[in-house]
Chain A
Amino acid sequence: MAAGIKDKVAILGMGCSKFGERWDAGPEELMVEAYLEAMQDAGIEPTQLDAAWFSTHIDEIGTGKGGTPLSVALRLPNIAVTRVENFCASGSEAFRGAVYAVASGAADIALAVGVEKLKDTGYGGLPVGNMGTLNPQWSPSGSAPGNFAQLASAYRAKHGVSKEDLKRAIAHVSVKSHANGAKNPKAHLRNEVTEDQVMNAPMIAEPLGLFDCCGVSDGAAAVIVTTPEIAKAMGKKDIVTVKAMQLSVSNGLESQHNSWDGSYFHTARIAAKKAYKEAGIDNPREEVSMMEVHDCFSITELVTMEDLFISPEGGAVKDVMDGFYDADGKVPCQIDGGLKCFGHPIGASGLRMAYEMYLQLQGRAGERQLANPKIGLTHNLGGAPSQNVCSVTIIGAQGA
């Protein structure tokens, strides 16, 4: 087996725009906002960048295709820009590209920027896209909430959880994220909500109500990576390194083979196992300090707690209701508000998750700072439960 990525790459700087309904900004302005913060944090000049990765999902309504939108917006010094897209996990893909470039020695310093401008469609929710010429001729013309909501029906059937109990547990997932997001000045949604409010909200896709769905936001996030040696030589302290970076992609099993019961993410379990091995983590429930997971919908977060082997199978409802993932719980989850409240500009989300883990590890998370975190995990998912890509990334203090 490959030696893995552990401690081969350090984060030199990160930036993140304010997320939300950014009527004031196009994708270019959002990219610049995240980039300038990251460059200032890194303390480097543009000429020091060797290569860049650029992630955006819906290029049709956002930036356009190719690498030029990033290069032009940032006036990059004619370096390589690779545009990547992997559904909602695109941001993690850009991150992975930059990290692998540095790890390979092909680049000393690499940039990854993710952006999505979703609020130029004229309506709420995600844009409707075609999926080639064959899929639309047979796949349901559904929506993201309708696809993810199906986890709930299958989870209830498998674990014998009542409609009401599951509805309350997923409501708590959102209540917790709202409480966290309220403390984050860059978050899209900064209001606290109650369980009753969540449970009585208008239905979007049964059983998911309005507050079970994440924000549809504009935003950008950026990371600059280098080797730990270069970071140290540049005088950086509290160096944060990449411990693991895994991506698992469905091969059609979930959607075509009856071995999958519809209640969990097959890919997440594979990516998590590989990531823990790469990072040298034996007992994630004890060793992971904090997490940012892909809480596109409350039910996604709930089942993901099991897929990441933090909660035992069938035990997520209890852990959630016990406050295990709350800000003052054992493994705080979505401490920045998550996709739910920080927002979900698709191409930026994977990098936004890393941004919060990075700030927390450096003790720079302000009002939401956790006590002495060592290991942060990000889980970034794209697609639907029955067919998806799942990225699990672990970062931590150098030497942790």
Chain B
Amino acid sequence: MAQQTVGLTAFGGYIPRLRLQRKAVAQANAWVAPNFLGKGKGERSMANWDEDAVTMAVEAARDLLGPDDDRSHVDALYFGSTTMPFKDRLNSGIIAAALTLSEQVRAVDVASTQRAGTSALMQALSAVKAGEAKHALVLASDHRKTKAVTAQELDFGDGAAAVTVGTDNVIATYLGGASLTVDFVDHFRGGTEEFDYNWEERWIRDEGFAKIVPRAVKAALEKSGVSAGDIKHFVMPCSFGDKFVQQLAKRSGIAPEAARDTLAANCGETGAAHSLVMLVHTLQKEAKPGDKVMVLHFGGGCDALVFEVTDKLSSQAGKRGIVGSLANRTEETNYLKFLTFNGLIEWEKGMRAEQDKKTALTTLYRNEDMLMGLVGGRCTETGVIQFPRSRISVNPNNHTVDTQEPYKFAEKKAKILSWSADFLSFSMNPPNHYGMVVFEEGGRIMMDFTDVEAGTVDSGMEVKLVFRIKEFDEKRGFRRYFWKAVPVAANAAKSQTGQAAE
């Protein structure tokens, strides 16, 4: 029996649209850290206040899965991140609920290392190879917090990537890979700590990357039976600069020009997501059928995987991916806003923010598909679509009873009917935009808007829906998620302005 082809079957990506200008950060901090002025170039991606590793992963997954309601084919979900919002509540379970995946899905959180993304991918590859999964969804996402006035706040970015692993319509065949596990502590984040603690960069570069990566490369080449000279794309996150990555490739016998863009200039390093972010970027930009790609991620050792791109790659042409995400950008020059969004500033939120945000978990579970998956109802007799679902239909002409079947709203076309920009109610990013969103096929939801600037919204504007944090319950460490509307035209206009200014 011929060896079954296992590999990547699709990809998706998501980078938050805000791009913090490093110059603004460096200048604000120059009084205490003039040494960072030299790093004040380019931009890093910056999550909105209502985004975390889970919400970004959901966005990357939606890009991959497309608008189809039926996602029952996904039978495994591996989520890699070092910034999972919950220590004990299955984070991939939240993602599965938001994506309305089948209850039968095997969902696994992979954490505690920068190579969580590649390790998640390796687990998925193993599961598919073993025949235990047919369509495994791999998500990697990170939203790392950094102390103010650190190199990390300039180097890091926020983002997520998604790939699926399967045996049909493979766009990149898995040829083999290796994992080295080395307890090399270049940085760590203690179990109760919010921030990384870092050791000297020169040691990390010379004793860590320079010595450990080549060993991983060698092992992966051996496992895959590919020679170093055949690697066309050397995909490895690293914040020591492109030149260093090229040298590292060269040292392993790989052509230096195979070293792919680390996206340091326009995105920043997205933590455990970054190898997959770079992989998706490479598949969108440079990769051609027949090319061999090596994906690496350093951290507590190193993962290295080798793929061969197939002619099915063209099936992914419509994806936003990382290239599309990077193009949808809004420049942010307000460093204080970045600090505030990341909880680094104690600011007076006003008495309206004192309201208790305790979430009734019973209510949440009872209404899980509604709250997590944005699932409403459709009357099987009259076809009337509504949100939320109810036993008695809202249809004014026929209040049918118990006729509703679940109906998914998240991927449907919708427009703004009415709205306001509210300066009174508490918002992490005032004014608080919200309004009535009306769906083309039927149904409407009064909902929060996000990723929006004052003065850009009006009735009739198209929106798309995104899964976001609704509220933080700071007292109990919980966070509520729900869906929000993003005005599309407003974003497009902003993005164009941003690019023109580039």
CB within 8 Å of B: which residues of A? Answer: 121-123, 125, 128-130, 133-134, 136-143, 145-147, 149-154, 156-157, 202-206, 208, 251-253, 255-259, 261-263, 385-386
The answer to whether A262 and B418 have CB atoms under 8 Å apart is: yes
Query: What separation, in Å, do the CA atoms of A256 and B435 have in the docked complex?
Result: 13
Known contacts: A121-B351, A137-B480, A150-B435. The answer to whether A257 contacts B396 by CB under 8 A is yes
Between-chain CB contacts (< 8 Å), 15 pairs: A123-B350, A123-B352, A137-B359, A137-B480, A141-B448, A143-B432, A145-B424, A146-B420, A149-B420, A150-B436, A153-B419, A157-B417, A205-B422, A257-B395, A262-B436
Is the pair A157, B371 in contact by a Cβ cutoff of 8 Å? no
Known: A134-B367, A140-B432, A154-B459. A146 touches B424 (CB 8 A): yes
Chain B contacts for A136, CB-based, 8 A: 357, 471, 480
Partner of A386, one of B384, B386, B436, B439: B436
B424 engages A204 (CB within 8 Å): yes
- Please tell me if the beta carbons of B434 and A140 are within 8 angstroms of each other in the complex: yes
Q: Smallest Cβ distance from B200 to chain A, in angstroms? A: 46
Q: Which of chain B's residues have a CB closer than 8 A to the CB of A156?
A: 459
Contact A138 B482 (CB under 8 A): yes
* Nearest Cβ on chain A to B349's Cβ, whole angstroms: 12
Among the listed A129, A146, A259, which residue makes an inter-chain contact with B432, where contact means beta carbons less than 8 Å apart? A146
A138 touches B371 (CB 8 A): yes
Q: B446 in the interface, Cβ–Cβ < 8 Å?
A: yes
B422–A133 CB distance below 8 A:
no
Q: How far is the CB of B399 from chain A (nearest CB, A)?
A: 9
Q: How far is the CA of A206 from the CA of B351 in the complex (A)?
A: 21
Give B399-449 interface residues, CB cut-off 8 Å to A: 416-426, 431-432, 434-436, 438-439, 442-448
Complex Cα spacing A222 to B471, Å: 41
Q: Which residues of B contact A253 (CB under 8 A)?
A: 394, 396
| B424 adjacent to A140 (CB under 8 Å) | no
Query: Are B425 and A146 touching (Cβ within 8 A)?
Result: yes
Q: How long is the Cα–Cα vector from A386 to B420 in the complex, in angstroms?
A: 14
The answer to whether B363 touches A133 (Cβ under 8 A) is yes
Closest to B419 in A: A153
Given A157-B459, A386-B446, 20 additional A-B pairs, CB 8 A: A121-B351, A122-B351, A128-B426, A133-B360, A136-B357, A136-B471, A139-B446, A141-B470, A147-B420, A149-B420, A151-B418, A153-B435, A202-B423, A205-B424, A206-B420, A206-B421, A252-B394, A253-B394, A255-B444, A257-B386
Cα A3 to Cα B146 in complex, Å, equals 72
Identity of the chain B residue whose Cβ is nearest the Cβ of A255 in the assembled complex: B446
> What's the least CB distance linking B95 to chain A, in Å?
18
4 tightest CB-CB pairs across the interface, nearest first? A146-B422, A140-B434, A150-B418, A133-B360
Residues of B within 8 A of A386 (CB): 436, 446
Q: Is B345 an interface residue (CB 8 A)?
A: no
Measured between beta carbons, the chain A residues less than 8 angstroms from B423 are 202-205
Tell me whether B443 and A256 are in contact (CB under 8 A): yes
A138 touches which one: B386, B443, B460, B470 (CB < 8 A)? B470
In the complex, A206→B460 CA distance in Å?
16
Q: Which of A153, A202, A203 has the most CB of B within 10 A?
A: A153
Q: Does A137 contact B422, Cβ atoms closer than 8 Å?
A: no
B466 to chain A, nearest CB (A): 14
Contacts of A138 in B (CB 8 A): 370-371, 388, 445, 447, 470, 482
Chain A contacts for B420, CB-based, 8 A: 142, 145-147, 149-150, 152-153, 205-206, 208
In Å, the complex CA distance between A154 and B436 comes to 10
Q: How far, in angstroms, from A140 to B425 measured CA to CA in the complex?
A: 10
Report the minimum CB–CB distance from B231 to chain A (whole Å): 49
Given A123-B351, A123-B352, A153-B458, A137 contacting B482 (CB threshold 8 A): yes
Decide: B459 and A257 in contact? CB cutoff 8 A.
no
In the bound assembly, the distance between CA atoms of A204 and B431 in angstroms comes to 9
A266 to chain B, nearest CB (A): 10
- Residue numbers in A under 8 Å from B436 (CB-CB): 150, 154, 255, 262, 386
The reply to whether the CB of B88 lies closer than 8 angstroms to some CB of chain A is no
Q: Please measure, in the bound complex, the distance between the C-alpha atom of A258 and the C-alpha atom of B396, giving whole angstroms.
A: 11
Contact B394 A256 (CB under 8 A): yes
Measured CB to CB, the nearest residue on chain B to A147 is: B420
C-alpha gap A154/B443 in the complex (Å): 17
Contact of B424 among A143, A153, A257 (CB under 8 A): A143
How far, in whole Å, are A16 and B395 apart by their CA atoms in the complex?
Answer: 43
In the assembled complex, the Cα of A261 lies from the Cα of B417 at a distance in Å of 7
Chain A: minimal CB distance from B469 (Å): 12
Contacting pair B434 A134 (CB below 8 A): no
Contacts A140-B432, A142-B434, A153-B458: A128 and B371 contacting too (C-beta < 8 A)?
no
Give the docked Cα–Cα distance between A151 and B419 (Å): 8
Q: Which residue of B lies closest to A155 (CB)?
A: B418
User: Of all chain B residues, which has the CB nearest A135?
Assistant: B363
Q: Is the CB of A137 within 8 A of B371?
A: yes
- How far apart are the CA atoms of A129 and B482 in the complex, in Å? 19
State whether the Cβ of B4 lies closer than 8 Å to any Cβ in chain A.
no
Chain A residues contacting B416 (CB-CB under 8 Å) are: 153
Known: A150-B435, A156-B459, A257-B396. A137 touches B421 (CB 8 A): no
* Chain B 464-496 residues near chain A, CB threshold 8 A: 470-471, 480, 482
User: Shortest CB–CB separation between residue B484 and chain A, in angstroms?
Assistant: 9
**Cβ–Cβ < 8 Å partners of A141 in chain B:** 355, 425-426, 432, 448, 470-471
Query: Does B185 belong to the interface (CB within 8 Å)?
Result: no
Q: Judge whether B11 is part of the interface by a CB distance below 8 angstroms.
A: no
- CA A202 – CA B430 in complex, angstroms? 14
Within 8 Å CB of B350, what residues of A? 123
Q: A134 — which chain B residues lie within 8 A by C-beta?
A: 360, 363, 367
Min Cβ gap A235→B in Å is 50
Chain B proximity of A153: nearest CB distance (Å)? 5
A129 to B357, CA, bound (A): 11
Q: How far is the CA of A233 from the CA of B221 in the complex (A)?
A: 107
B 266-303 binary contact with A (CB < 8 Å = 1; else 0) = 00000000000000000000000000000000000000
| List of A residues within 8 angstroms of B422 by Cβ | 142-143, 145-146, 149, 204-206
How far, in whole Å, are A138 and B394 apart by their CA atoms in the complex? Answer: 19
CB distance from B365 to the nearest CB of A (A): 11
Q: Does B364 contact A (CB under 8 A)?
A: yes
B425 touches A257 (CB 8 A): no
B314 to chain A, nearest CB (A): 39
Contact B444 A256 (CB under 8 A): yes
Q: Which of A136, A256, A263 has the most chain B CB atoms inside 10 A of its CB?
A: A256
Of chain A, the residue at the smallest CB distance from B459 is: A157
The distance from the CB of A148 to the nearest CB of chain B, in whole angstroms, is: 8
Q: Which residues of B contact A261 (CB under 8 A)?
A: 417
Residue on B with the closest CB to A134? B363
Residue B209, interface by CB 8 Å: no
In the complex the two chains form, is B446's CB within 8 Å of A153's CB? no
A122, B390: Cα distance in complex, Å: 39
Given known A252-B394, A256-B443, contact A128–B352 (CB-CB < 8 A): yes
Asked if B156 lies at the interface with its beta carbon under 8 angstroms from chain A, I say no
What sequence of 0s and 1s flags, for each residue 151-177 of chain B, a beta carbon within 8 Å of any chain A beta carbon?
000000000000000000000000000
For residue B409, give the distance in angstroms from its CB to the closest CB of chain A. Answer: 12
Are A154 and B394 in contact (CB-based, < 8 A)? Answer: no
Q: Do residues B359 and A256 form an inter-chain contact, with CB atoms below 8 A?
A: no
* In the complex, chain A residues whose CB is within 8 Å of the CB of B371: 137-138
A130 to B352: give the CA distance in the assembly, Å.
12
Query: Is B356's CB within 8 Å of the partner chain A?
Result: yes
B234 within 8 A of A: no
Residue of chain B at shortest CB distance from A154? B418
Bound: A261/B436 CA distance, A: 10
How many angstroms between the C-alpha atoms of A137 and B417 in the bound complex?
22
Residues of A within 8 A of B432 (CB): 140-143, 146
Bound-complex Cα distance A345 to B421 (A): 25
A157→B459 CA distance, assembly (Å): 7
Contact B438 A258 (CB under 8 A): yes
- Which B residues are CB-close (under 8 A) to A123? 350-352
B386 near A146 with CB under 8 A, answer: no
> Are A140 and B447 in contact, CB atoms less than 8 angstroms apart?
yes
Max chain A Cβ within 10 angstroms of own Cβ: one of B370, B423, B438: B423
